[in-house]
Amino acid sequence: MPASTAHSSETARPKNYFATTHWSVVLTAGRSDTTRALEALEKVCQTYWFPLYAYVRRRGHSPEDAKDLTQGYFARLLEHQTLVNANPTRGRFRSFMLGAMNHFLADERAKQHAQKRGGGCAILSLDLAAAEERFDLEPANDSSPDKLFDKQWAAALLGAVLNQLAEEYSRDGKAELFGALKLTLSGASESQPYAALASSLDMSEGTVKVAVHRLRRRYRALLQAEIEKTVASRQEAKEEMRHLFEVLAGS
């Protein structure tokens, strides 16, 4: 392929490359109250609800208030068409979600009303019943709520990718292989007990190394894809990936 053609293809690609993103789902849901739009939004928010819940708790709210506020936050997004005004060019999706939460909390402080947030109904199906138990398991940390939100966001993102990997390996009849190899996704490759893994899996050490290499390559590809759903350009995707690793390194 000529250099000029390759360059033209690369520069044109971002216009369609990020067509199916969290942003597009949010914008569609903001303009429609159809069941399909709400289901799409709910799927996106599964990654963000616990980081937001934990953020509200760290802002000093009680478990019950944090539960109501988190549910009320999602109600505000839909009912007041906040999503219609979302602009992917103004920042990353996680920043939009946190900024919208801060605006919501500020409004709630001003109102100080006794009515249950969200009108007493669950806008999205979130596992808030188990949220406090999960929050209690979080290690003590004196970092700011904003920094801890980023940490929770990173953990949620990695969790979503691991779930995708588990589903893929399960579909291929390789659930046992994934269960044995998933721990190799963390730590240096030279520190991995390939010999022990090979023995437990009844595979050669060389075959295990190839399997680990493929797993890590797929893991990074899925992680990159998840990152790209939350930004508006390839450059932002690179920056967000770098930020993700910085957050993990600092945890």
Domain boundary residue, one of 138, 170, 199: 138
Q: Is residue 8 part of a domain?
A: no
Give me 186's structure tokens. 């963390």
Q: Which range of residues forms the domain containing residue 172?
A: 145-251
pLDDT band at 30 (very low <50, low <70, confident <90, very high): low
pLDDT band at 223 (very low <50, low <70, confident <90, very high): very high
Same domain for 130 and 20: yes
Q: Is residue 11 part of a domain?
A: no
pLDDT at 4: 41
Same domain for 209 and 103: no
Q: Closest Cα partner for 201 from 174, 228, 171?
A: 174
How far is residue 115 CA from its own chain's centroid? 31
Domain boundary residue, one of 88, 107, 138: 138
What pTM, to 2 d.p., does this model score? 0.66
Instruction: Calculate mean pLDDT across residues 14-41.
Output: 62
235 vs 232, more confident: 235
> Which range, of 5-14, 31-40, 95-104, 174-183, averages the lowest pLDDT?
5-14
Instruction: Calculate mean pLDDT across residues 26-50.
Output: 71
Q: Residues 97, 46, 158, 15: what is their CA dihedral angle, to the nearest 10 degrees? A: -60
- pLDDT exceeds cutoff 80 at 29: no
* Per-residue pLDDT tens over the stretch 137-156: 777 777 788 888 988 888 88
Rounded distance between C-alpha atoms, residue 155 and residue 81, angstroms: 29
Same domain for 70 and 33: yes
Same domain for 131 and 23: yes
- Average pLDDT, rounded, for the chain: 78
Same domain for 191 and 157: yes
Domain boundary residue, one of 108, 138, 168: 138
Same domain for 21 and 97: yes
Q: Is residue 2 part of a domain?
A: no
